[in-house]
Structure 1
């Protein structure tokens, strides 16, 4: 499966000049956990997450302390560019979704902007990973059958079963037809692995 088949698009972005409060409101309004940050020309400048925005926003309530709490020497950040992450992992629409998912999990990254040239065309979040895995087995089976019929209408007939995203293909086919069926099945959203049996 390719990234473009699972990414969230169109993507909601925010300019570097936006205030922290504005970014918080955008996250809430769109039910998001992060926003790609773009400069004046629309180029990716960073990414800002809920956690980035919440740091230094709340002041301590003196009623909760017996003595007055210490205050920070510097004022709280006001602009998104002050709190965003500048070193951003990115991906491409035609990248392998499984490779991206593995990278996100290993690096504990929850959001990755998708770039086409210098344009942000989507975002992949941990919610998108969950959405792919949550696809119903019956729907995956239907999609696999439809894709095989579309790309190989004159090819071998396959018996397809799916359990927890694992696709089992049974049919009499030569090595070339098996490779093609394997590639087609792996491209279907929600497929975690494919096995072929004669």
Structure 2
């Protein structure tokens, strides 16, 4: 999945000379948390968060100081330089940027011009879609040897039951590089027949535990 498929193309922006009070108004008006700061060519030169604006605002009891502080230019509190992404970047790859840098949003840039924005909420929703957890069904985790051809072989066992597969994820198995974990999200509320098929094919099913279904 590409960034352009999940980004918001309508982005609220401000020039660097805008007063902080403009940012406060836009944050509240549009219920957003970040505003990219752009120059006349729409190049991203900074970004301001709701926290930046709050930190720049004096106490609500100090009315005079607050009024003066909010008239300062937004460039005095913006973060710069700004990490950006390209619309043709893969969503799965930029997820690591959100995690490692602890960002809450990333401006999307093409030819040095802002064309969109991706937030951590967009990323979370996309990860839910990619993992298939938004579709009702069951999840099966299987420990398999880490060798070529294993995934299609396991998928073939699942497919014989004519059950749709919502998603497949692959995880490392602890620190043992000889094995990996295949996680199948399938569209059935009773995965027991497939679990039994997998065990008959000599695959080690880690979860769910069959006893749970026998006891229900």
Verify: 1:113 aligned to 2:131, yes or no. Answer: no
What does residue 213 of structure 2 align with?
Answer: none
- How far residue 105 of structure 1 moved from its aligned partner, in angstroms, is 1.1
Structure 1 runs (4+) deviating above 4 angstroms are 163-168
For 1:58, the equivalent position in structure 2 comes to: 58
C-alpha displacement of 1:77: 7.0
1:7-156 counterparts in 2 under 5 A? 7-59=7-59, 61=61, 78-135=72-129, 136-137=134-135
Q: More relative contact order in 1 or in 2 (CA 8 Å, sep 6+)?
A: 1
- Residues 164 and 132 of structure 1: is their aligned pair in 2 closer, same or farther, counting only changes over 3 Å? farther
Q: Which has the higher strand share?
A: 2
Is the 1:56–1:77 contact (alpha carbons within 8 Å) kept by the matching residues of 2? no
- Runs of 5+ consecutive residues of structure 1 not aligned to the other structure: 63-70, 139-157, 169-198
The one-character-per-residue Cα deviations of 1:25-68 (angstroms, maximum 9, x if unpaired) are: 11111111101101133221111111111113023748xxxxxx
| Structure label with greater radius of gyration | 2
TM-score by length of 2: 0.57
Aligned residue for 1:129, secondary structure, equals helix
Counterpart of 1:29 in 2: which secondary structure?
A: helix
- Contact conserved, 1:114 with 1:124, CA < 8 A, in 2? yes
Runs of 5+ consecutive residues of structure 2 not aligned to the other structure: 137-161, 170-183, 187-216
1:118 Cα deviation (Å)? 1.8
Q: Distance in 1 between matches of 2:50 and 2:106?
A: 14
